[in-house]
Amino acid sequence: GQQVMQIPQYQHVQEGEDFTTYCNSSTTLSNIQWYKQRPGGHPVFLIQLVKSGEVKKQKRLTFQFGEAKKNSSLHITATQTTDVGTYFCAGPPNSGGSNYKLTFGKGTLLTVNP
C-alpha cells in the first residue's frame, strides 16, 4: 500500500536557525497536506498543495510540492519557540475511485532552544 515517509524524525535547533522537513510518497499524490501538532495537542491543518512544482508561503513557512508529485518539503525560516511541535505531511491514496482517507507520515518533531 501507499507509504509516506518523513525525514528527519527529530530536529533540534537554536532559535533563529532555519528548519526543513522532507516528505516522500511511494506513489504519486493528487495533493499533499501539512499539519502541525503542538505537544499535548491535536493536528492542525496548515496547507494543501495540488499542482506539480507548487510553492506556497505562510509568513516564515515555505511549502513545496515536487515536480513528480511524490515529494514535498516544509521550510521554516528563523525558527521561533512557537514553532515547536510535530509536523506531518499527508496525502490521499492515488488509487482512483473513492478513497476518502489520508496516509500520514510519521512526522518530524521540532524542538527549539531559546
Partner 1 sequence: KAGVTQTPRYLIKTRGQQVTLSCSPISGHRSVSWYQQTPGQGLQFLFEYFSETQRNKGNFPGRFSGRQFSNSRSEMNVSTLELGDSALYLCASSLERGNEKLFFGSGTQLSVL
Site residues (CB under 8 A) for partner 1? 31, 33, 35, 41-45, 48, 88, 90, 92, 98-107
Helix (H) or strand (E) holding 29: none
Query: What's the min distance (Å) between Cβ of 87 and partner 1?
Result: 12
Spatial distance between the Cα atoms of 64 and 36, rounded to a whole number of angstroms: 16
Residue 41 or 53 with smaller CB distance to partner 1 = 41
Measured from the CB atom, the residue of 13 and 102 that comes closer to partner 1 is 102
Q: Residue 78 CB, nearest distance to partner 1 (Å)?
A: 27
Least distance to partner 1, CB of residue 70, Å? 17
Strands (E), 8-84: 10-14, 19-25, 32-37, 44-49, 55-58, 61-65, 71-76
